[in-house]
Structure 1
Amino acid sequence: METEVAIVGAGPAGLSAAVAASEAGCRVTIVDAYARPGGQYYKQMPGEFHPRRPETLYHDFSQAQQLFAKLDDHARVQVLSGTTVWTVQAASTPGDPVTLYLNTGAGSVGLRAEKVILAPGAYDRVLPFPGWDLPGVMTMGAAQTLVKSQRVLPGQRVVLSGSGPFLLPVAAGLAQAGAQVVAVYEATTPLQWVRHAPRVWNHWDKLREGGDYVQLLRKQGVPLQFGRAVIRASGDERVQHITVARLSADWQPIAGSEEQREVDAVCIGYGFVPSLELSSLLGCTHRYDPVQATFVVQHDADMQSSRAGVFVAGEITGIGGSAVAMPQGTLAGLAVARQLGRLSESAAQRKMAPYRKALRHRQAFAVLLQYLFRLRPGWLSWMTPETLVCRCEEVPFQQIEAAIKDDHARDVKTVKALTRCGMGLCQGRVCGPSVAAITAALTGQDPAQLGALMGRPIVKPITLGALCDTSH
């Protein structure tokens, strides 16, 4: 298979890029793992479902419908749904076509693209605590997916614990779907936000959106408590009880503040971690962002990475939500069209100008949120020696501690080799950020110097038959 522009990911960033590039005259192929376009943010129900009030599925319903309509109108756009990129072959000469190897479910096929736009999104960030591996404890993204795509509740008595604006829409969605949301625990406190209040005055749309969610939760009788977190979960065969504690400014549990709650589901989320597997395989340059506590892809003003012909958009560049992802995707699509000769330099710059302006405005707010809801180091004290950090390989905190203190591991790659952290099915997507934080804390090093738990060349599951297929 061949295409001019291959876009990985059909969320807000990928869809915006596809619309911009196709409207400029490019042939576009979108590759997405989900059954229908939209990504996590614009998650669509299966086609067999017919919701009576589809506008309640997500906040920007009309905007999503406009994107889907534009996508359907373009004969130059091919959407490969239910398809994953399991590996890539970078061009030997910078700027030459890149080959993506796809798992379609029926087998493997190669897709050769002149330009690539990576918009793979992000993963939920979880912080390990005793009992987080019990059935019934899940990420907020998983809970939202259950409700959005299948109208299935994760439980009847649900607690949400974490930090960041994502808590509100997930809690509201669960309450609207019929769950009893026992409480929402936000680790930060409004007092920590007050001195930054002047910086939010020009972002009324986002403030209004947050206010709508808060009002809905109040109507449902859901308590929203600040400066608290779930620090322990317990139960026989699944979660039955949680321990909640008040936190100090650096997220140390305050002694004597613990309280117990009965629940059957716990949703955890402390922001997101970019999906960097494909950008790493393609040799893109990454930089460490200390506020977000993660690596992100480095790019120029046109969203091109350090690899010529490879562009990026959305959470892979830093967590900013759909408001940032959409103008980034449009800029990437227009830049690709210019490189392919579909737009002149002057026409491209003219079309890009309003999106550059919108991006500057929205990124300012995203950067503020990243700072306000940043991780504090006290969360490391939530773990006991037996707390699992890597669930795939069942590696507890004490084993990582021993690798660092006794075996003198000084970076995450060595910790991985000594403990098997990150060698399981998720390839470090879940445990990687925690392993890096633990290693930095115990060695006293800058996390930027420690590296990251990198996955293998095969980044998604694939059958042996497809792997052995030599036809491509």
Structure 2
Amino acid sequence: MTVVIVGAGPAGLAAARAARTAGASVVLLDAAELGGQYWRHLPAERRAREQRRLHHGWSRFLALRAALTADPGCEIVTGAQIWAIDRTEDRLRVHVLIGAADGRARTPRTLLPDALVLATGAHDRTLPFPGWDLPGVYSAGAAQALAKGERIAVGKRVLVAGAGPFLLPVAASLAHTDASVVGVHEAARLPVLAKNWTARPWELFAALGKGAELGGYVLGQVRNRIPYITGSGVIAAHGDERVEAVTVAELDTSWAPLPGTERRIEVDAVCVSHGFTPRIELAIAAGCRIGPDRFVVTDVDGRTSVDGVFAAGEITGIGGAQAAETEGALAGLAAAGAVDDRRTAKLRRSRASAVRFAARIEQAHGIRKGWTAWLDRDTLLCRCEEVTHGEFVDTIAATRSRGLRSTKLTSRAGLGICQARMCGRNVEDILGQNVPDGVITDTSTDHRPIAAPISLAELAALPAAPTAQEGHIS
């Protein structure tokens, strides 16, 4: 049987290795290179001499990569953009374009897998604030990608802000590029953090690996003299042609700014992340059930609501790289039809621990609704369509709309080239706060039938009725 795996980060690599050990043929697809965001690294022609210093679990990645690249039963396809998933008769079709992402010379391919594992990961969720569209404002993930993958510093004086443990590795990556990180500003207040991180301490023993990783980042903060400020956030960025300064303020428990606590800090870059948005458009296209928390619903082995489709990693919950590897291994084994054994039982116990750890992260660092208090009428909400917060709220009031779809059509928010990847969850939150009777659940900003940009020329050149052997070019 052939297992197609989408995504070659920790979850996808672990799934591929597990499926191969169970005897299945594997096609591993990724839009970039092996490693994902977590193990993003310099290209082969510009290797770092001490790469392991920049990555946790680097030896694990090297072992997975070596095993898979040397395995004739695992086909690795990088530069592979999955632009759609549909169904023919009783099988899913995975439509791929392979090549540089400029859409000029990509090769189309259609796969008909016996089993499909989705390990597409997540991207930063960034809450808007006045001036967030200025050059020099980066998502934390983009800043880390430049630091890890190109050794490029996004600025000389950089401030990191938002919420969650991810802020610490971002600050560490920036420090490795010799940027001066002037502070890490965590929106959650110290009592909230203490309450959630010290509760049920016995559960943390099962996540000692994460504790060691966290400890390493904390030591890096101390060594590089980077302040860590809780209950604080960026509420505005200032500058003419690019960021020159930011305003930070203390935040209450709902994340609303406390009047009189504002202060201005001179920076030339700011990196922001308020958690993650799972990339679930392919799971939606495959027909998978999505839970009220907006993650793909799976059983303990990664089975989704669709026969033959499995999910692993951060599209099932934000728990970190180790949790993603565990879920990937479980999904790979299940996708290959492996029987239950001691290994599966051990992996299931590890997954249960990871689920508890992910819940702890959400309870401590999850977005609170008071963040909208730092917006003004002129704050851009949808950058693609240049819809401001004021225009969006006025549209809701004028149309009395309770539906996301109708509000998007009348306001244009979320209809731009990024297809609501940047603004979608924020649009939903603001709509919900401005509709007293509740939003009609008629659609989702994560629903994208065309999951990635494809040119009309490429679309026209596709076969009218593509057919494919399992795992091979049509």
Q: Same fold (TM over 0.5)?
A: yes
Q: Is 1:101 matched with 2:99?
A: no
Deviation at 1:192, TM superposition (A): 1.2
Structure 1 counterpart of 2:172, one-letter code: A
Shift of 1:69: 2.0
Match of 1:56 among 53, 58, 81: 53
Query: Which residue matches 1:329?
Result: 328
Q: What is residue 235 of structure 2 aligned with on the other side?
A: 231
C-alpha offsets along residues 427-449 of structure 1, whole Å, 9 cap, x if unaligned? 11110000010011111356794
After superposition, where does 1:257-336 map in structure 2 within 5 Å? 257-289=261-293, 295-336=294-335
Match of 1:82 in 2: 79
Q: Distance in 1 between matches of 2:89 and 2:396?
A: 38
AA in 1 matched with 2:302: M
1:298 CA displacement: 1.2
Distance 2:88 2:440 in 1: 28
Render the CA deviation track for 1:81-131: whole Å, top value 9, x for unaligned. Answer: 0110011112443xx3x2111111223221221111111001100001000
Q: Which amino acid aligns with 1:437?
A: D
Determine the C-alpha separation between the residues in 2 that align with 1:353 and 1:445. 46
Return closer, same or farther for 1:145/1:28 CA change in 2, 3 Å cut-off: same
Contact residue 288 and residue 448 of structure 1 kept, 8 A? no
Matched, 1:139 2:136: no
Q: Secondary structure at the match of 2:416?
A: coil
Which amino acid letter does the alignment assign opposite residue 52 of structure 1? R
Question: Structure 1: 5+ residue runs without aligned partners?
Answer: 290-294
SS for the counterpart of 2:60 is helix
Alpha-carbon distance between aligned partners in 1 of 2:365 and 2:303, rounded to the nearest angstrom: 28
Q: Say which of 250, 254, 278 aligns to 1:250.
A: 254
Are 1:124 and 1:270, in contact at CA under 8 Å, matched by a contact in 2?
yes
Q: How many residues align?
A: 454
Structure 2 stretches lacking a partner, 5+ long: 100-105, 467-474
How far residue 155 of structure 1 moved from its aligned partner, in angstroms, is 0.7
Query: Post-superposition shift, 1:358?
Result: 0.8
String of CA shifts for 1:22-55, please: whole Å, max 9, x gaps: 1111111111011x20000111211111211111
Q: 1:445 & 1:425 partners in 2: Cα distance?
A: 31
Once residues 352 and 56 of structure 2 are traced to their aligned partners in structure 1, the CA distance between those partners, rounded to angstroms, is 22
TM-score by length of 2: 0.93
User: CA separation of 1:447/1:368 partners in 2, compared to 1, >3 Å: closer, same or farther?
Assistant: farther
Q: Is the 8 A contact 2:402 2:438 kept in 1?
A: no
TM-score, length-normalised on structure 1? Answer: 0.93
AA partner of residue 315 (structure 1)? E
- Quote the residue 1:43 is aligned against: 40
Letter in 1 for 2:13: L
Aligned partner letter, 2:303: Q
Question: Which residue in 1 is equivalent to 2:7?
Answer: 9
Identity of aligned residues (%): 40
Q: Determine the C-alpha separation between the residues in 2 that align with 1:225 and 1:194.
A: 14
* Structure 1 residues 79 and 42, CA gap change in structure 2 (3 angstroms): same
2:404 paired with 1:435: no
Going from structure 1 to structure 2, the CA distance change for 1:463 and 1:107 (only over 3 Å counts) comes to farther
Classify the secondary structure of the residue corresponding to 2:422: coil
Runs of at least 4 residues off by over 3 Å: 348-351, 444-451
Q: For residue 17 of structure 2, what is the aligned residue in structure 1?
A: 19
Q: Report if aligned partners of 2:232, 2:250 keep a CA contact under 8 Å in 1.
A: yes
CA contact (8 A) 1:86 1:102 kept: yes
Residue 113 in structure 1 maps to residue 106 in structure 2: no
Q: What amino acid does structure 1 have at the position aligned with 2:79?
A: G
In structure 2, C-alpha distance between the alignment counterparts of 1:351 and 1:337, rounded to whole Å: 15
